[in-house]
Amino acid sequence: MEKDAAASSRLVTPEMLQNLPEPVQRYMAFTGVVGKPWINTVRLRQRFKIRLGPDKRWMPMSAVQDYTTDPPGFVWKARFKIAGLPLMTARDRYEGGHGYMLGKIAGLFTLFNERGEKFDQGALSRYLSEMVWFPAAFLGENVAWQAIDNHSAQATITDCGRSISGRLFFDDAGRPTNFTTTRYYYKSRDDIQLQPWSTPMTGYAVRAGLNIPVRAKAVWNLPSGDYPYWDGEITEVEYNHPS
């Protein structure tokens, strides 16, 4: 509660943007974050479809996701229903430098239950990519920016001794259009490799007073071809949620 109160009283100022690469300054202007309260916690709701393999069918799902920015962390809870019954539930978590993923069918049968070094890396990479939904986090002391060109810049986040980098792309209006990095792709338990990963963004709207991307995909850019596996939208956002 004390952190949330402090976040509500602290504002994002123009001075915080002065040393950012030009396309990132353009992005911050697009979001409208200047003059808004610092973001310490986030709750958002997602509606999307997902598939568990390139040859698998798409499944409609919904999720609620909670974030903290100091320290970085998230809990993502999703479910897939048929006739009102939860057929599949999934939880993805990052806390204290560690990632954890759990999926169940009908609440009884475990579909996946994963943790370890590779999931730690992947969860922090995911967090960095999703900071476009709470842009003040890009101004934190744990984030460093490197200029690349007029339409992209590299962001590096450090947490619990681990640093993860990704490249963000922006259009002329400052809208974020893509994020790219490398993550561990689990083709099977015996075949786990770092592969290019991206999150192209295509729709934008005001949520809780900020302009953010609300339509996006998650795509593995594999040597065999692109494998999109998440396609969805952000329906609700709440910043500095008291819980």
Assign domain 2-239 one CATH number from 2.60.40.60, 2.50.20.10, 3.40.50.300, 1.20.140.10.
Answer: 2.50.20.10
Q: Span 221-232, mean pLDDT? A: 97
* pLDDT at residue 110 tops 90: no
Share of the chain above pLDDT 70, in %: 90
Instruction: State residue 90's pLDDT score.
Output: 86
Q: Give the start-to-end residue ranges of the domains of the chain.
A: 2-239
The pTM of this model reads 0.92
Q: Span 104-131, mean pLDDT? A: 83
* pLDDT at residue 205 tops 90: yes
Q: What string of H, E and C letters represents the secondary structure of the chain?
A: CHHHHHHHHCECCHHHHCCCCHHHHHHHHHHCCCCCECCCEEEEEEEEEECCCCCCCCEEEEEEEEEEECCEEEEEEEEEEECCEEEEEEEEEEECCEEEEEEEECCCEEEEEEECHHHHHHHHHHHHHHHHHCHHHHHCCCEEEEEEECCEEEEEEEECCEEEEEEEEECCCCCEEEEEEEEEEEEECCEEEEEEEECCEEEEEEECCEEEEEEEEEEEEECCEEEEEEEEEEEEEEECCCC
* pLDDT at residue 82 tops 70: no
